[in-house]
Amino acid sequence: MKGRQSPTRTLPRSFYDRETVTVARELLGQQIVHVVDGVPRVGRIVETEAYLGVHDLAAHSARGRTPRTDVMFGPPGYAYVYLIYGMHHCLNVVTEAEGHASAVLIRALEPVQNVATSTKGPGLLCRALAIDRALNRHDLLSADFYVAGPEAQESFEIVTRPRIGVDYAGEWAAKPLRFYVAGNPFVSRK
C-alpha cells in the first residue's frame, strides 16, 4: 500500500449519499478527525441518530429551508453544526442527495487520540474535539476535518432505540432512529 494513510482512508462522498438510516448505522465504528493546531483529535463514533428530512418532525429541516438549516438541504458529506441551549454545539453529517434535508447527529465518541475531556454526549464531544459553528458547512472530505475508516474494524452489535430529547415531535419521537454500539461505555445514555 502506498500513499499517505489518513487521506486515503477518508470516507468518500458516496458513503453519505445513501439512505440516512444506513449511514447512521455504518457511521458507528468510524472515526471523526479534527486537526487543531496541527494536532489531530480523533474519536470513534459509538452513537448516532438519524434525522429524515422535512417530513421528520424532530428534524430541524421540518420547519423548512432557513439560513440555519440550509446546509441540510445541500449535497451530502458536509457538516451541520449548530448551537443548542445557548451553550452547546452539536455535530451532524448531511446525508442523501441534495434537497433531501437529512442528516445524522453524532451523539457520542470513544476517545482515540488527543482527546482530553469527555466525549459522552453531543455537546461534550464537540467541546472535546473543538468543534463549533465555525465548522458549519465544512466539507467532511477535507484535510483538517473528516470522517475516516479505522485501520481495522471490529465487529459489534448495534442497539436501536428512540431518539433523545425529541418528545415534541409527536409520532416521530417514538421511531427507532437512534443507534449505538452495544455495551460501549462511552454511549451517552442507555
Partner DNA sequence: TGCACGATGAAC
Partner DNA sequence: TTCATCGTGCAC
Residues that bind DNA (CB under 7 A): 49, 51, 58-61, 63-64, 66-69, 72, 80, 82-88, 90, 92, 103, 105, 118, 121-125, 133, 163-166, 168, 188
* Phi and psi based region of residue 54 (left: phi greater than 0; alpha: psi -120 to 50; beta: remaining): alpha
Amino acid at 174: A
Q: How many helices and strands, by DSSP H and E, does the chain display?
A: 4, 8
* Beta carbon of residue 180, minimum distance to DNA (angstroms, whole number): 13
**Cα 167 to Cα 54: distance, rounded to the nearest angstrom:** 17
Helix (H) or strand (E) holding 7: helix 5-9
* Beta carbon of residue 151, minimum distance to DNA (angstroms, whole number): 27
Q: How many degrees, rounded to 5, is the angle at CA 17 between CA 153 and CA 133?
A: 85
* Beta carbon of residue 36, minimum distance to DNA (angstroms, whole number): 19
Q: Which is nearer to DNA, 21 or 125 (CB)?
A: 125
* Beta carbon of residue 187, minimum distance to DNA (angstroms, whole number): 11
